């Protein structure tokens, strides 16, 4: 009983006050080399969606997308979704942002992205637990990095939680550089936090 009460109080505290630390990464797309991603998933497919009409076509075909209403808002704001499926079963999603409005839905931490100078960011990466550790995250990164490069973007900026060791280990396989860190304080739904220089190079 005490543990349940403590858990509920902790959930309330996180909604009111939550402090988390992130690393800010950069990747120059011209340094990205093509690499084969071995995917251990039956009937695997990965694709990008850039408008609501295309999203609804996939829905009509039986694909089940998590947070459908949120997806519509991000697409309407100019974001692009990268999705992986096993047949019609959801495996993974990541959202790309090519303007400030879409970034506000995807990653509202306090770091700058110079969209007008060829930078973009991404976030809300999620892999269904049943498909983790099977190469989907790396394949998604390779897919949308190549997509952004094809569209003329040159630099990707993005954040990863310092305690997200699995994502950081995957990014170690790519030519990413950690350029700063953010200690973010979320208080009453608002974020307070700025990028600061990295004190020491982290290990995974």
Residue 74 CA to residue 55 CA, distance in Å, equals 12
Contacts with 63 (C-beta within 8 Å, 6 or more apart), sequence order? 83, 85, 88, 90
For residues 181 and 23, is the Cβ–Cβ distance under 8 A? yes
- Provide the CB-side half-sphere exposure for 4 (13 A, CA): 1
Distance, CA of 122 to CA of 103 (rounded, Å): 8
Q: What is the C-alpha separation between 204 and 193, in angstroms, rounded? A: 24
pTM, 2 dp? 0.85
- Find residue 30's DSSP bridge partners: none
Residue 95: how many other CB atoms lie within 10 Å: 25
**pLDDT of the chain, 204 residues: tens digit per residue:** 555 554 554 554 455 578 889 999 999 999 999 888 889 899 999 999 999 999 999 999 999 999 999 999 999 999 999 999 999 999 999 999 999 999 999 998 889 999 999 999 999 999 999 999 999 999 999 999 999 999 999 999 999 999 999 999 999 999 999 999 998 777 766 666 667 776 665 665
Question: In this predicted structure, what is the pLDDT of residue 9?
Answer: 45
Q: Which residues, in sequence order, are CB contacts of 97 under 8 Å at separation 6+?
A: 78, 79, 103, 106, 107, 113, 120, 121, 122, 123
Secondary structure class of 129 (helix, strand, coil):
helix
Nearest by Cα to 25 from 147, 120, 150: 120
């Amino acid at each position: 009983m005490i543990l349940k009460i403590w858990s509920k109080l902790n959930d309330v505290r996180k909604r009111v006050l939550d402090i988390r630390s992130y690393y800010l990464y950069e990747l120059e797309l011209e340094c990205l080399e093509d690499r084969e991603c071995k995917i251990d998933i039956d009937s695997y497919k990965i694709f990008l969606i850039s408008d609501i009409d295309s999203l609804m076509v996939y829905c009509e075909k039986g694909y089940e997308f998590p947070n459908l209403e949120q997806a519509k808002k991000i697409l309407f704001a100019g974001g692009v979704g990268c999705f992986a499926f096993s047949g019609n079963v959801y495996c993974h999603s990541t959202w790309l942002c090519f303007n400030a409005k879409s970034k506000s839905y995807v990653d509202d931490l306090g770091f700058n992205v110079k969209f007008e100078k060829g930078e973009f960011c991404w976030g809300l990466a999620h892999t269904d637990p049943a498909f983790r550790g099977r190469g989907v995250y790396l394949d998604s990164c390779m897919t949308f990095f190549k997509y952004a490069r094809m569209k003329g973007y040159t630099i990707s900026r993005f954040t990863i939680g310092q305690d997200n060791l699995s994502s950081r280990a995957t990014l170690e396989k790519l030519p990413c550089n950690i350029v700063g860190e953010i200690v973010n304080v979320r208080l009453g739904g608002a974020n307070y936090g700025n990028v600061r220089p990295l004190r020491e190079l982290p290990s995974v």
